[in-house]
């Protein structure tokens, strides 16, 4: 199985900050990498698919980059509603696997 | 309205089985794979399987082989996830989720059910 490792596991930031979250795969996943946001008590929400394609309706301050084993999710100008947990997911093969998540706190 | 609606919370004893339903509406049921993802309390997301509602084929991680059964009923647009021989660490919220694009399992999960809490406790 492909292992996904996210770093940091948590971070503290302020409104207006630029935040960069990292996801590493144990082997190449090409560009088959998705990012989700999850708020407490809610289902995850897809932000970015295929490493860098912004899902419709997602604010443009979110962006994704990377390929093969190294990926980043960048949030430009953090907003109050962005404080949440973020997960990466590889869909290169099954079993699909998620990273352990990064919690973005105030 | 495009949505997935799951069955309600369950409390089960160790060794028992649980069956969670996920009813799809608002789109062509047989065109999109359905995934199951679970989240233990305070923990991250774990992908536990996928079913093709068209032909019924399934795939799940090796750790669940023999314990996890996924089925579908095309007459009611419903998929089911049954987990047997429950253990305390199966306690989690179980989500069903649909792929973003039809017949493409690579572009992430765009539509999610509301989640079903399964509690395993003696």
Q: Is A64 on the interface with B (CB under 8 A)?
A: no
Q: What is the pLDDT of residue A82?
A: 97
Instruction: Give me the residue label for tokens 């669940």.
Output: B64
Question: Mean per-residue pLDDT for B38-57?
Answer: 97
| Inter-chain CB proximity A99 and B47 less than 8 Å | no
Q: What is the pLDDT of residue A35?
A: 98
Query: Which of A81, A42, A78 shows the shortest CA–CA distance to A62?
Result: A78
Q: What is the pLDDT of residue B103?
A: 84
A28/chain B closest Cα distance in angstroms: 15
Q: What is the pLDDT of residue A106?
A: 84
| Inter-chain CB proximity B44 and A96 less than 8 Å | no
In B, minimum Cα distance to A100 occurs at: B44
Phi, psi dihedral angles at B88 (to 5 degrees): -60, -35
CA atoms within 13 A on the CB side of B25: 6
| Coil, strand or helix at A98 | strand
Question: Mean per-residue pLDDT for B106-122?
Answer: 96
**B contacts of A73 (beta carbons < 8 Å):** none
Structure confidence by residue, pLDDT tens digits, B12-22: 999 999 999 99
**A contacts of B103 (beta carbons < 8 Å):** none
**A contacts of B35 (beta carbons < 8 Å):** 96
Query: Which of B94, B66, B64, B61 shows the shortest CA–CA distance to B80?
Result: B94
Q: Cβ-count burial of B115 within 10 angstroms (0-12 exposed, 13-18 middle, 19+ buried)? A: buried
Whole-number average pLDDT of chain B: 96
Q: What is the pLDDT of residue B15?
A: 97
Structure confidence by residue, pLDDT tens digits, A44-97: 999 999 999 999 999 999 999 999 999 999 999 999 999 999 999 999 999 999
């Amino acid at each position: 199985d492909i292992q996904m490792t996210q770093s940091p596991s948590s971070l503290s930031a302020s409104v207006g900050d630029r935040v960069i979250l990292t996801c590493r795969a144990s082997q190449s996943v090409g560009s088959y990498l998705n990012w989700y946001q999850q708020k407490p008590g809610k289902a995850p929400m897809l932000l970015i698919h295929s490493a860098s394609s912004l899902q419709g309706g997602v604010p443009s301050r979110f962006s994704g980059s990377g390929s093969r084993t190294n990926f980043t999710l960048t949030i430009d100008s953090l907003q109050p509603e962005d404080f949440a947990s973020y997960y990466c997911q590889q869909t290169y093969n099954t079993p699909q696997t998620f990273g352990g998540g990064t919690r973005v706190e105030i | 309205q495009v949505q997935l609606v799951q069955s309600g919370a369950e409390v089960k004893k160790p060794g028992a089985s649980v069956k969670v339903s996920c009813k799809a509406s608002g789109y062509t049921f047989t065109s999109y794979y359905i995934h199951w993802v679970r989240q233990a309390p305070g923990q991250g997301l774990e992908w536990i399987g996928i079913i093709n509602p068209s032909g019924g084929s399934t795939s799940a991680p090796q750790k669940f082989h023999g314990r996890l059964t996924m089925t579908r009923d095309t007459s009611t647009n419903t998929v089911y996830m049954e987990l047997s021989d429950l253990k305390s660490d199966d306690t989690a919220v179980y989500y069903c989720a649909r792929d973003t694009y039809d017949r493409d399992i690579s572009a992430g999960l765009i539509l999610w059910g509301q989640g079903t809490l399964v509690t395993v406790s003696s």
